[in-house]
Amino acid sequence: MKKEFISIAIGGLVVGFVLGLMLPKMFSSKDAQHDHEQHAAAPPPPAEQAPARFSNDQLEHVIKEYELILEKDPKNIEAYFQIGNIYYEMRKVNKAIESYSKGLELNPSSIDLLTQLGNLYFDTEKYQLAVDNYQKVLDIEPNINDVRVDMAIMYRRLNKPDIAIKELKTAIENDPEHTNAYVNLGIILRFDKKEYQKAIDAWQTFLDKFPDHVQAGKIKELIKKTKELI
């Protein structure tokens, strides 16, 4: 699973990346239906939505320090992972992919690298590539439910709602406390399958289990609007 907080301390510069926070919606959303989606292993927010925490010069300095590490230790997978994360933060997608891919050449089973690469493809709306990398993670460790939920969202974007539903139900079976799985299950049942009562049931289960959740108000409103369709 993606590391939730990565702190880099090199040459007196400390750079922190919050990479695993749960965001209220995916920044790649294009319409109201997507706005309701809840993903678990969220990529960092795009540059235009987030305040500049570090200058590009500072970030480039950290990259150079990691490159020096790689000169001494070309098989340092963590260095490739961190360089990829910095390029991800800088929105330099191709360079991030290159760094993650080099790390994966050394360790094709790295869950961190596979997850981050999947998240990057998620961000850039390359849905099938995101699915491919998420599936590799789940082949290694089937109980990483954040990844499974995000993969379900990608299946939804690929117009495969039945597969998405199956993955979300598996996530709930694995972890009955996974809030986003219930939310997304209801969304797909409501907007894609038009199975209104099943959507209401999924969201009501969410409210029964997590009545004080920050998204409870939104879910109540969704239930109210969905009942009007029955």
Tell me the pLDDT tens digit for each residue of 52-111.
567 888 999 999 999 999 999 999 999 999 999 999 999 999 999 999 999 999 999 999
Domains and CATH numbers, the chain: 1-31+39-141 (1.25.40.10), 159-230 (1.25.40.10)
Q: How confident is the model at residue 36 (pLDDT cuts 50, 70, 90)?
A: low
d(CA 75, CA 179): 38
DSSP string, 97-136: HHHHHHHHHH-TT-HHHHHHHHHHHHHTT-HHHHHHHHHH
Say if pTM beats, i.e. exceeds, 0.85: no
Taking Cα atoms as reference points, which of 170, 150, 152, 151 lies closest to residue 161? 152
Taking Cα atoms as reference points, which of 103, 156, 110, 99 lies closest to residue 131? 156
- What share of the chain in percent tops pLDDT 70? 77
